[in-house]
Amino acid sequence: MVSDPVVLGIETSCDETGVGIVKGTKLLANVVSSSMEQHVKFGGVIPEIATRAHLQAIQPTIKQALKDTNLELDDIDAIAVTAGPGLASALMVGVAAAKGLAIATQKPLYGINHLAAHVGVGVLNGEELPEKLGAVLVSGGHTEILKIKSLTNDISLLGATIDDAAGEAFDKVARSVGLNYPGGPAIDKYAKLGNPKAIRFPRGLTAGKDLERNRYNFSFSGLKTAVARWVEQRELDNEEIPIADVCASFQEAVADVISFKTILACKENGIENLLLGGGVAANSRVRILLQERCAENGITLRIPPFELCTDNGAMVAALGAQLAMTGAKPSSLDFGPDSSLPVTEIYVT
Ligand code: KG4
Ligand code: ZN
C-alpha cells in the first residue's frame, strides 16, 4: 500500500448519502446528499424512504466527489464503506455500491464501523489523535461514550443510551411542542429566548441506584415523556404553552446529562482528551456546558467542523485510510451490513 493512500469512503447508514475522498489524512472531497426533507412530515427518518433516496443519490454523489477532486476511479487506492451500525436497508445500498466499485476496480475494500468513523474524522488535515482519548457521539441515531486506545484496533464502549438517542429526544420533544423535524435546530433556536430554569425536567440515570446501575449509560425517554405530559397538562388547562421556556428547560436537561455522564466517564477512565461528534454537537448549550465542565476537569475538548460531525463519507474514508496505512487486511467481499455492529469491531474482516 502506498504511504498516503487515496481512499473513497461511502456512508449510507441513516438519511445522508455521503461520499468522501481523502489522501492519507488530507481531506480532498466531502459530498453529502440528505433525504431529510422527505422525512419532515413523518417527524423522523423512515427507513424505506431513506433507502430509496440512497439508491437515487449514490451514483451522482460518487461522481460529484470524483469531479471535485479531478480524480478518476483508477486513481483511488482503496474503497471504504459503512458496514454498520445503522438502518439495515440503508446500509445495504452503500455496501452494494462499494462492493461493485471494489470488484470493478480490483481495489481493496474496508467495511467500516460507523461509530469508529465518527472518531476517525479527527485525524483529518494532519491533526494526530491524542493519547488518553475518549469520544462522546450524540446524534439522531446514537448516543455513546467511547474510550479509544487505538483508532485502528482498540475502541471500547463505556456507555450508551438504553432507550432514545439524544437527537431523537430533540426531534420528539420538538414535535410535542409543534416544531418541525429535525427538532434539534428548532429547539436550539427557541431555547435562546427562554429560561432554562423555568421547568425542572428529570435527568435520567444521574442519581442513586439508577446511576449506580447505569453509570455511563443514558436514558432520554423519561425526559421526553415528562415534557409531553407537561405540555398536555397545560393544554388541558387551556393555558398557553411557553414554548421558549419548555425548549430551554428541556435542552438544559439534555446538556446537563450528557456533560455530567461524559465527564464522569472521562474522570474514571483516564480520559484527558475528548472528541464530540454527531448532529447534536451543533447544539449551542451542549457545546458550552461540555466545554465548561471539560475545562473545570482538565479535559481537552475537540469539536470537528460541523459538516464533519454529522454523518458523511469523509469520516469513513479517513478511517479506511488509517486502516490501509497500518496494513490492515481488507474486508473479504462476502460481508453484509450489520445494523448492530459493535464498536469493538472497528472494521469487518
Ligand atoms: O448526525 P446526524 O446528522 O444524523 C444522525 O442522526 O445520525 O444527527 C441528526 C440529529 C437530529 O436528531 C437533529 O435534531 C440533531 O442531530 N441536531 C441537533 C441540532 N442540530 C441537529 N440537536 C440539537 N441541537 C442542534 N442544534
Ligand atoms: Zn452518525
Residue range 35-88, pLDDT digits in tens: 988 998 888 889 999 999 999 999 999 999 999 999 999 999 999 999 999 999
Q: Is the CB of 247 under 6 A from ligand 1?
A: no
**From the CA of 4, how far away is ligand 1's center (Å)?**
32
Q: What is the mean pLDDT of the chain?
A: 96
pLDDT of residue 128: 87
pLDDT digits 0-9 by tens, 301-324:
999 999 999 999 999 999 999 999
35 alpha carbon – ligand 1 mean position (Å): 14
Please answer whether residues 255 and 286 qualify as being in contact, where contact means their C-beta atoms are separated by less than 8 angstroms.
yes
37, 91, 170, 177, best to mutate for ligand 1 pocket (most atoms within 8 Å of CB): 170
Question: What mean pLDDT do residues 119-125 have?
Answer: 92
* Residue 293: pLDDT over 90: yes
Residue 128 has a CB neighbour count (10 Å cut-off) of 8
277 CB less than 6 Å from ligand 1?
Answer: no
Q: How confident is the model at residue 1 (pLDDT cuts 50, 70, 90)?
A: low
| Strand spans (E) along the chain | 6-11, 16-23, 26-34, 78-84, 109-113, 133-138, 143-150, 154-160, 273-277, 300-302, 347-348
The confidence band for 225, taking pLDDT boundaries of 50, 70 and 90, is very high
The per-residue pLDDT for 8 is 98
Closest residue to atom 2 of ligand 1, CA basis: 279
Long-range contacts of 34-38 (CB under 8 A, 24+ apart): 36/181, 36/182
Are 171 and 224 contacting, i.e. CB atoms less than 8 angstroms apart? no
User: Cβ distance 8 to 71 under 8 Å?
Assistant: no
With a 6 Å cutoff on the Cβ, whether 134 touches ligand 1 is: no
* Averaged pLDDT, 286-297: 98
End-to-end CA distance of the chain: 18
If you average pLDDT over residues 130-159, what whole number do you get? 96
Nearest ligand to the CA atom of 115: 2
3-state secondary structure 255-297: HHHHHHHHHHHHHHCCCCEEEEECHHHHCHHHHHHHHHHHHHC
Counting Cβ atoms within 10 Å, is residue 209 exposed (0-12), middle (13-18) or buried (19+)?
exposed
